[in-house]
Amino acid sequence: MAFPRKLLNPGEDVVVDLHPHWFYFLEPAFTVAGLILLWLVIVVLLDGDAGKWLGYLAGIGLVVALVWGLWRFVNWRSIHFVVTNDRLIYRHGVFAKSGIQIPLERVNNVIFHQGIVERIFGAGDLIIESAGESGQQRFADVNHPDQVQNVIYAEMDKSEDDKLAKLRSAAATGDSAAVDVAGQLEKLEGLLARGTITQQEFNLQKQRLLGTLPPPPA
């Protein structure tokens, strides 16, 4: 099920829309397989009342595990990890909905983590570090998190390029706020060139400066 278009802002486009990786179903799948194996062992090896009652218990456990797996599937369909040209969105919930939204301009760092098995099957975790109260958010069972990381950085670069283009345009028309931001950016570039600040510090300060730009006139 695709992310609802009605939840997007005007001019906002979806770049990535993901449900969790199938690793999300591993726990109920292993439970079902284990209970089936247990039931078969009981049927083959045990006779009498003990075998019958243990078989009933294993059967009840199997039904519960199947219901658990079905609920996981229903919940899986409600989970969206979305990257747009403006923000990151994580939304979940079958009945009651909840979620997180992080504007691209507030993203400071994107880290992915994959274990050996996860790397083989293309799953992993994404850690998003952002400015603000949320600080750091971890998203588990992401499909190809390394590729999603690249997409996020690419959209961040596009967003900054658009803001820089607007800044240059506004500065060319004599907009005092834009001229001031442009001057501060030039100073930052000088500090970066001299090695006074790191690339990460430069990127963070540039994001803050671009975030102070006034909106373009309607």
The predicted pLDDT at position 15 comes to 94
Number of other CB atoms surrounding residue 44 within 10 Å: 9
To 5 degrees, how large is the angle CA 142–CA 145–CA 151? 120
How much helix, strand and coil, in percent to the nearest 5, is found in the chain? 60, 20, 25
H and E: helices and strands count for the chain: 6, 7
Q: What is the pLDDT averaged over residues 123-136?
A: 83
Q: Please determine, for residue 117, whether its predicted confidence score (pLDDT) is greater than 50.
A: yes
Q: Please determine, for residue 55, whether its predicted confidence score (pLDDT) is greater than 90.
A: no
Average pLDDT, the chain: 84
Q: Please determine, for residue 170, whether its predicted confidence score (pLDDT) is greater than 70.
A: no
- C-alpha–C-alpha distance, residues 34 and 65, integer Å: 10
Its pTM stands at 0.74
Q: What is the pLDDT averaged over residues 180-193?
A: 72
The most confident of the ranges 121-125, 193-197, 203-207 is 121-125
Q: What is the pLDDT averaged over residues 155-178?
A: 71
